């Protein structure tokens, strides 16, 4: 492993490949209702592999990289600790359990999805799941709507273009990304 991937020797212990795999494996076992709080607890509080500030920096980066945030976080963190193979160890440790759980869920849904009682439960859960997303977006958007600037306009335009107009993601992104960065640059000039 190239030494440049490993942090300074003075810092906390650097996890081995096996430790990386096991740490993320354990996180997914406890990660009911979102894995982020558990990841933070394991890394910052239990193992002390990262300081709170380092964790925030890594997470902020992963939040606006394309793709699933927390999966990206495993790769970025694993690669910082042990290079590309470290990234692979962390990534696979993180995905193994959820994949097996979801595969089992998929088989069960395929077989029992039309059973009356299952149907009823899902009919109740689906609107609640939609409500959770509404709360998530409200929490994310609230700070942006409290100050002047182009951000609220970009949020609404993106939501309408994709959610109501149902325009293809590719075209909306090709328009909105340069427009939004342009506006952000213009207000900061």
- For position 1 contacting another protein by CB under 8 A, the verdict is no
At its nearest, how many Å lie between another protein and the CB of residue 10? Answer: 19
Segment 19 to 48, residues that bind another protein, using CB under 8 A: 28-29, 31-35
Segment 69 to 98, residues that bind another protein, using CB under 8 A: 69-72, 74-76, 79-80, 84, 87, 91, 95, 97-98
Handedness of CA 67, 69, 74, 78 (dihedral sign): positive
CA distance 79 to 83: 4
Over the window 108 to 147, marking each residue x when it contacts another protein by CB under 8 A and - when it does not, the resulting string is -xx--x---x--xxxxxxxxxxxxxxxxxxxxxx--x---
- For position 9 contacting another protein by CB under 8 A, the verdict is no
Q: Candidates 8-16, 18-26, 43-51, 172-180 — which segment interacts with another protein by CB under 8 A?
A: 172-180
Q: Pick from 18, 52, 106, 115: which binds another protein (CB under 8 A)?
A: 106
Interface with another protein (CB under 8 A), residue total: 93
How many other C-beta atoms can be found within 10 angstroms of the C-beta atom of residue 21? 21
- For residues 31, 36, 39 and 45, what is the CA-based torsion angle, rounded to 10 degrees? -120
Length of the chain: 189
How many other C-beta atoms can be found within 10 angstroms of the C-beta atom of residue 84? 13
Residues with Cβ < 8 Å from 106, sequence gap 6 or more? none
- For position 58 contacting another protein by CB under 8 A, the verdict is yes
């Amino acid at each position: 492993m190239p030494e440049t991937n490993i942090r300074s020797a003075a810092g906390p212990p650097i996890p081995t490949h096996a430790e990386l795999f096991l740490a993320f494996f354990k996180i997914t076992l406890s990660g009911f209702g979102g894995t982020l709080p558990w990841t933070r607890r394991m890394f910052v509080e239990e193992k002390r592999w990262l300081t709170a500030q380092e964790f925030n920096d890594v997470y902020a980066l992963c939040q606006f990289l394309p793709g699933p945030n927390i999966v990206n976080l495993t790769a970025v963190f694993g690669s910082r600790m042990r290079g590309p193979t470290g990234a692979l160890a962390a990534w696979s440790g993180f995905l193994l359990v959820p994949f097996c759980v979801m595969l089992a869920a998929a088989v069960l849904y395929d077989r029992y999805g039309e059973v009356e009682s299952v149907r009823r439960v899902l009919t109740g859960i689906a609107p609640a799941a939609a409500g959770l997303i509404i709360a998530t977006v409200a929490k994310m958007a609230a700070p942006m709507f409290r100050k002047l600037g182009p951000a609220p306009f970009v949020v609404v335009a993106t939501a309408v273009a994709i959610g109501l107009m149902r325009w293809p993601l590719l075209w909306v992104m090709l328009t909105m990304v340069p427009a939004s960065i342009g506006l952000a640059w213009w207000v900061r000039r």
